[in-house]
């Protein structure tokens, strides 16, 4: 039997060791975030590009909230989320004022692997991407460029792959 976890949806994936800004609009998402924090519950984030796609998501990531601010544009809450661990979704259900929860089971952590000569281009290209996009670099203050697992997880977060393909890769 898995644990019941409040779920937020986002248009991007976050994986363990990753950091992303999450926009939390008023309504169900904000209510879910407040409920999880108030009750000390782990919070899960799943990628879904549309409302219809949400029912087909089968993998997500537990997150921790590291920081928050209000958007100057629309007043939306923006939290800095850090990925902690992956989980498999067994079932979705609505609880507590129609907030979305999922019954989840933890997935094993991907083992750390050292970057070898063959993988060095991945390091160079990600470092170059960080240089061109300082907002990415600022989100990953503790970059692990010598860890191939960390490197591949960052590429998986960044590459513009369809959700179902990312879900398949995340399930490995």
Residue 55 has pLDDT above 80, yes or no: no
pLDDT band at 12 (very low <50, low <70, confident <90, very high): confident
State yes or no: pLDDT of 53 exceeds 80.
Answer: no
Statement: residue 138 has pLDDT above 70: yes
pTM of the predicted structure, to 2 decimals: 0.90
Does pLDDT of 88 surpass 70? Answer: yes
Cβ contacts of 132 within 8 Å, gap of 6 or more? none
| Residue whose structure tokens are 């089971």 | 105
Q: What are phi and psi of 23, to 5 degrees?
A: -85, 125
Section 110-127 average pLDDT:
95
């Amino acid at each position: 039997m898995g644990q019941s976890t409040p779920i937020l949806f986002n248009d991007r994936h976050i994986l363990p060791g990753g950091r992303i800004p999450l926009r939390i609009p008023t309504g169900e998402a904000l209510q879910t975030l407040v409920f999880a924090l108030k009750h000390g519950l782990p919070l899960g984030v799943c990628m879904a590009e549309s409302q219809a796609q949400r029912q087909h998501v089968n993998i997500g990531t537990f997150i921790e909230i590291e920081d928050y601010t209000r958007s100057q544009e629309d007043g939306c809450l923006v939290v800095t989320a850090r990925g902690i661990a992956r989980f498999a979704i067994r079932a979705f259900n609505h609880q507590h004022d129609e907030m979305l929860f999922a019954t989840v089971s933890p997935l094993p952590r991907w083992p750390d692997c050292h970057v070898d000569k063959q993988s060095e281009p991945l390091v160079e290209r990600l470092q170059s991407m960080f240089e061109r996009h300082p907002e990415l670099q600022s989100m990953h203050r503790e970059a692990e460029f010598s860890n191939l697992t960390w490197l591949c997880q960052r590429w998986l977060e960044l590459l513009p792959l369809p959700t179902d393909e990312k879900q398949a890769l995340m399930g490995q």
